[in-house]
A and B are shown apart, each in its own frame.
Chain A
Amino acid sequence: MNALRTTRTLVASATAVVLALGSASLAHGAVPADHSDDDQITIGIKFDQPGIGLKTPDGTYTGFDVDVATYIAKQLGHEPDQIVWKEAKSADRETMLQRGDVDFIAASYSINDERAEKVDFAGPYLLAHQDVLIRADDDSIKQPSDLNDKKLCSVTGSTSAQNVKEKIAPDAQLQEYGGYSECLTGLENGVIDALTTDDSILAGYAAQDEFKGKFKLGGFEMSNENYGIGVQKGSELKGKINTALEKMVADGSWDAAVEKNFGPANYQNEPAPKIGVIVEND
């Protein structure tokens, strides 16, 4: 009898633990996109770019892409708590859209011909340029040609890194790292003179509390990056998202989002781009 009771207690507590774990994982874990529930929308963003798309330690999401995506979702009829955020790493973006893992992607996604063959783009919603981030007290870099005898840093394989090698400063030394934070360490202790990538990303880093006042943007417009919202090829979402973006610019939310995310870095943003107008590189 006693043994039986012990067993029962064990079973009961085990069930309780399983239930608790189950609900815990539902609350915190990455819940896969559930398309049977029409109220939910799954959006791909960057999780690691301050100012653009960042997952904070407490599990909230901040950044310009996040604000734009939230606004679009709202226009499509989804409240912020119905959004499921998914990490869209650069290399995975086309595949995620093609497989339908996400409804749309807003992840510093530059529109180009190769990508446009695979997915459709709404927007563009931001015109960024390749720029450099330099130490605040560095006066030796005034124009892009000054970069040729400098030490530059960017992310391994990124478009910005390739631009440096091929066009901007072929004679410069280029250090490539897996992430921007390694470059920032080098920039801080003087091994590296300039971190180069899209000005929007740089502004996001410079605006972080721990870097405030240490770095400044060069203000060079070395390329044109038209950030678009990626959707599945032929998706009807493209038109709806374009309407939402137009409304976002018209009612001032777009300016507010730019100011909120890039403001502290003294970032001179371009005016909101016209939908469907791509600014080509020369």
Chain B
Amino acid sequence: MFDFLEGYDLLGAFWVTVQLTFWSALGSLVWGTLLAAMRVGPVPLMRAFGTAYVTVVRNIPLTVIIVFTSLGLFQTLGISLGADRFTTINFRLAVLGLTAYTSAFVCEALRSGINTVPLGQVEAARAIGLSFPQILRIIVLPQAFRSVVGPLTNVLIALTKNTTVAAAIGVAEAALLMREMIENEAQLILVSAVFAFGFICLTLPTGLLLGRLAKKVAVKR
């Protein structure tokens, strides 16, 4: 029944999916944190930028963003992100697009976490003379992160599945292999089921592990 799987590098394709997820997750954690810092910070210009960024990027379909990185950034503006072969260029463009998109969600999740930190703590920190970056780094963010492990897990799971959009610009991840197999094998339902199962194998353990972590580290108030 599953002999149609022969001759396809299923693991290789899912490995690319994992790599896409990993680098985009890392990138959006960094950029999302910076955005959150801007949104709660004291500088009006940065607050406005953070708000505008989140509002705009969160509301653009991911496909549009990903296709734009290829057609707009690469083809038209010639930005190849330091690579010279399509495979590498596309991978990096996809990471860039996924990071830009996912950061907006990370920022909002983190901002909700920041709101759980009692205002009194910030006032106390300010009273003893800590600067805004210090307050954020030492007092607020450690507590905020601990309370948003759950929401961030949701974002990570969504990101894992969103990597399939990278097939639109030809990154050889799981969804691209799926299209090849559907084209060759005339087994639409079985092929889709195999890939759905593959994604469950990736996301289910992520959800379970991080869910337990979320319970463990959450700040009890």
Contacts and interface: CB of A to CB of B under 8 A. Distances in A.
A58 interface: no
In the complex, which range does the number of interface residues on chain A fall in? 20 to 34
Contacts of A117: 186
A265 B75 CA distance: 26
Interface in B58-113: 67, 70-71, 74-76, 85-87, 90
Contacts of A176: 167, 169-170, 176
Nearest to B179: A157
B168 interface: yes
Given A92-B188, A95-B188, A191-B75, A157 B183 contact: yes
Given A95-B188, A182-B71, A189-B76, A157 B168 contact: no
B85 A173 contact: yes
B123 interface: no
A25 interface: no
A159 B74 contact: no
B167 A175 contact: no
Given A94-B188, A157-B182, A159-B184, A189 B167 contact: no
A185 B188 contact: no
B75 A177 contact: no
A115 B179 contact: no
Contacts of B74: 191
A91 B179 contact: yes
A159 B169 contact: no
Given A174-B86, A175-B86, A189 B184 contact: no
Contacts of B90: 175
A118 B85 CA distance: 39
Among A91, A118, A161, A162, the most chain B Cβ lie within 10 Å of the Cβ of A91
B75 A189 contact: yes
B183 A90 contact: yes
A174 B186 CA distance: 24
- What 8 pairs between A and B have smallest CB-CB spacing? A157-B179, A176-B170, A157-B180, A173-B86, A114-B186, A178-B168, A191-B75, A91-B182
Given A157-B176, A174-B170, A186-B71, 15 more contacts: A90-B182, A91-B182, A94-B188, A95-B188, A114-B185, A114-B187, A115-B186, A117-B186, A151-B86, A173-B87, A176-B167, A176-B176, A177-B168, A182-B70, A191-B75
8 contacts: A94-B186, A114-B187, A156-B168, A156-B179, A157-B179, A176-B169, A178-B167, A186-B71
Interface of B: 67, 70-71, 74-76, 85-87, 90, 167-170, 176-180, 182-188
Interface of A: 90-92, 94-95, 114-115, 117-118, 151, 156-159, 161-162, 173-178, 182, 185-186, 189, 191
